[in-house]
Amino acid sequence: MKIKKIQGLNFRNYFSLNLDIEKDINVFFGKNAQGKTNILESIFYGALGLSYRTSQEENLITFNNNQMMVYIEFTNNQDNHNVRIKKYFDNQRMVKEINLDGKKISLKDYYGFLNVVIFSPEDLQFVKGEPALRRRFLDMQISQTNKKYLETLTQYNKVLKQRNSLLKQIREKETQENVLDTWDEKYIQLATEIYLLRQPAIKKLQEIANKIYQNISSGETLQINYILKDIREKIIDNVENYSQFLAEKISAYRNIDIIRGVTSIGPHHDDLLLAVNEKLLKDFGSQGQQRTVALALKLSQLEYIRQEINEYPILLLDDVMSELDESRRSQLLQFIDKKVQTFITVNDKELIPDLQDTAYYRIENGTINKI
Ligand SMILES: Nc1ncnc2c1ncn2[C@@H]1O[C@H](COP(=O)(O)OP(=O)(O)OP(=O)(O)O)[C@@H](O)[C@H]1O
Ligand SMILES: [Mg+2]
């Protein structure tokens, strides 16, 4: 996948953004708060129709404006495409409109045309950070190459939300408890589908990540285990019959769920547990090991997507270069060399050596100067 052109109107601090991309490695450098990350965010937005920095999309619109647009020309397996995503107010309501090759398309149908993987400083917390970080990693990875997963996950989140609001209504005696029965059935069915779709993806990720990690770390092995957690965050070993297991738990936890007003068990609680040489990283890993694992996992995500769709996705590296030491930086650059189109933000451009196919852009207060 290659991006050829990026345009934007009223996106963050860019009234107008216009970039012709000719190189594989594109470095945006400059001082803080000038608009480097905003460019990566616009690419991410053009690819996935959402921001990785905010769930409040109106924040993406330049202050004191009421609409914005991102336009990207790209290739996907040699085919040329263009996408235009507009966000504007229509009778006080925010509307998002996506056009692919000039035709209106739903976000769901557009998903997967332009794949991106983002690596930001937050990801360096991958091992020790919140479980939500690891679930998001997993969900993004599988959704980008598997529409069924995306659809099931969307449905699952809706049913979960509905179930949680029912639990609260039952607690407040506004609804009868037996209304839950049909929702529980639907919930268990969707949760099981998610669980079953995650298993082969984890297995594949584990194989890829272990190879990459062995390479970077000269020989250490990396294990990734999918774990189920219940309400007390106790780890439960993988189960034979997930649907039956979940049904039992859901019924056992029903009263607690009603008191808490949330669902205590399901894929939205599950997690990834990482180990190096069979030793749990979160308990025994050094800082360096944790960073290396975070890097290896991102590279694995690139490789995973390539194996699924026969092409590398676009890589966005937001500010991570300065967080990695010299040897990991060069491992990273070696990996992407001539294979993966990459967009990098960095304060100091010297951190990215002038490889053959590199373009440098100086970013100053929402203006871009190619040097
Ligand atoms: N909706 C918006 N309208 C106008 N300007 C915005 C909007 N949202 C953010 N900004 C501005 O964008 C700038 C931050 O841009 P960005 O996050 O891309 O910085 P950066 O160059 O990556 O900096 P750093 O090196 O600190 O990461 C800030 O000056 C902020 O005020
Ligand atoms: Mg930034």
The pLDDT of residue 232:
66
* Closest CA to ligand 1's atom 5: 13
Q: Tell me the CA–centroid distance for residue 21 and ligand 2, in Å.
A: 20
| Closest approach atom of ligand 1 to CA 41 | 18
Residue 355: which pLDDT band, with cuts at 50, 70 and 90? confident
pLDDT above 70 for 218: yes
Report CA 9 to chain centroid distance, whole Å.
24
CA 103 to CA 163: how far, in whole Å?
36
Residues 295-304 have a mean pLDDT of 94
Q: Which of 10, 13, 347 to mutate to test the pocket of ligand 1 (most atoms within 8 A of CB)?
A: 13
pLDDT of residue 14: 98
For residue 338, is pLDDT > 70? yes
Furthest-apart CA pair in the chain: how many Å?
68
- Tell me the best of 9, 10, 12 to mutate to test the pocket of ligand 1, counting ligand atoms within 8 Å of each CB and taking the most: 12
**Among protein residues, the one whose CA lies closest to atom 26 of ligand 1:** 32
17 CA distance to ligand 2 centroid (A)? 17
Q: Domains in the chain, ordered, with CATH? A: 1-115+313-371 (3.40.50.300), 127-310 (1.20.1050.90)
For 16: left if phi > 0, alpha if psi spans -120 to 50, otherwise beta; the answer is: beta
**Residue 219 to residue 29: CA distance in whole angstroms:** 35
Q: Which atom belonging to ligand 1 lies closest to the Cα atom of 347?
A: 25
pLDDT recorded at residue 326: 87
Burial class (CB in 10 A: 0-12, 13-18, 19+), 235: exposed
Neighbours of 158 (CB within 10 A): 12
Helix axes 180-216 and 287-309, enclosed angle (nearest 10): 110
Query: What confidence category does residue 368 fall into, taking pLDDT thresholds of 50, 70 and 90?
Result: very high
Cα(207) to centroid(ligand 2), Å: 32
Q: What is the DSSP letter of 347?
A: S
Instruction: Give the model confidence (pLDDT) of 179-190 as tens digits.
Output: 999 999 999 999
Mean pLDDT score of the chain, rounded to an integer? 93
Whether the per-residue pLDDT at 234 is higher than 70: the answer is no
Å from CA of 342 to ligand 1 middle: 21
Q: What is the pLDDT of residue 357?
A: 87
Buried b (16+ CB within 10 A) or exposed e, 320-330: bbebbeeebbe
How high is the pLDDT of residue 82? 98
Write the pLDDT tens digit of every residue in 9-54: 999 999 999 999 999 999 999 999 999 999 999 999 999 999 999 9
Are 297 and 241 spatial neighbours (Cβ–Cβ below 8 Å)?
no
Per-residue pLDDT at 217: 86
Q: Is 112 helix (H, G, I), strand (E, B) or coil?
A: coil
Whole-angstrom CA distances from 107 to 5, 84, 129, 228 are 21, 12, 29, 30
**Model confidence at 237, in pLDDT bands (50, 70, 90)?**
low
Residues with CB under 5 A from ligand 2 (ion): 37
Query: Is the CB of residue 66 less than 8 Å from the CB of residue 93?
Result: no
CA of 12 to the centre of ligand 1 (A): 7
- Closest Cα to atom 16, ligand 1: which residue? 35
**Centroid of ligand 2 to alpha carbon of 36 (angstroms):** 6
Strands laid side by side in the 279-280 sheet: 235-236, 222-229, 271-276, 279-280
Mean pLDDT value across residues 210-220:
91
Give me the pLDDT at residue 231, please. Answer: 66
What ligand 1 atom has the least distance to the C-alpha of 61? 1
pLDDT for position 356: 74
Given pLDDT bands bounded at 50, 70 and 90, which one contains residue 238? Answer: low
Is 230's pLDDT higher than 90? no
- Name residues contacting ligand 1 (CB within 6 A): 12-13, 30, 32-38, 59, 61-63, 319, 345, 347, 363
What is the Å distance from ligand 1's center to 34 Cα?
Answer: 6
| Averaged pLDDT for residues 102-118 | 95
The predicted structure's pLDDT at residue 336 = 86
pLDDT of residue 40: 98
